[in-house]
Structure 1
Amino acid sequence: MTDEVGVVTGDLTVATEVRGDQATITVQYTGAEEWYTVTGSPLTVVGCDGPWVHAAVVRAVAAGLPEGLAEMEAE
């Protein structure tokens, strides 16, 4: 789920930017120019490094979280 266009499906590229204790998650259709903010981003990620956060987000996106990142925070 994205803030700008709602649900996106298909071949997606995921970007994770961690600054301090906040992670901003964006997705785009692979090869497209537009990036969309994943609903729930930025996400608080205290004590987690960037590679770990990105791997967790990619797993969450692949699982098709219908509510954006809301379910990821429960992990």
Structure 2
Amino acid sequence: MAELTSTFTATPDGVLTAEVGVITGDLELRSARAEDGTVHLTIRYRGAAEWYHLPGDPYHLHDPRDLETVHQVLVAVLSRPSAT
């Protein structure tokens, strides 16, 4: 299993989770890919114990080499300032 984790500060609008709704502040994103290509995207408050799933989880990658790119794009999108 391949796994990537990054920390970031969410936009003022926060990040929607399947379990608890929107969370904001300093967060960690974990992208984990199993051998069959299934990808689980989870998020938590930085340093917290409990992880929450992003809506739509699990996902599937057709090419396992895409995990890093998908992870980096998600971090960039989830932390970019909102348009005013």
Q: Structure 1: how far apart are the matches of 2:77 and 2:61?
A: 15
Identical counterparts, % of pairs: 33
Could you tell me how far 1:28 is from its partner in structure 2? 0.5
Which residue does the alignment assign to 1:34?
50
Gaps of 5+ in 1: 65-75
Q: Which has the higher strand share?
A: 2
CA shift for structure 1 position 21: 2.5
Aligned equivalent of 1:7: 22
Give how far 1:48 is off: 4.6
Runs of 4+ in 1 over 3 A off after TM superposition: none
TM-score scaled to structure 2, two decimals? 0.64
Q: Does 1:53 align with 2:83?
A: no
TM-score, normalised relative to structure 1: 0.70
Cα distance change on mapping 1:3 and 1:34 into 2, 3 Å = same
Residues 23 and 63 of structure 1: CA distance in aligned 2, closer, same or farther (over 3 Å): farther
Q: For residue 8 of structure 1, what is the amino acid of its counterpart?
A: I
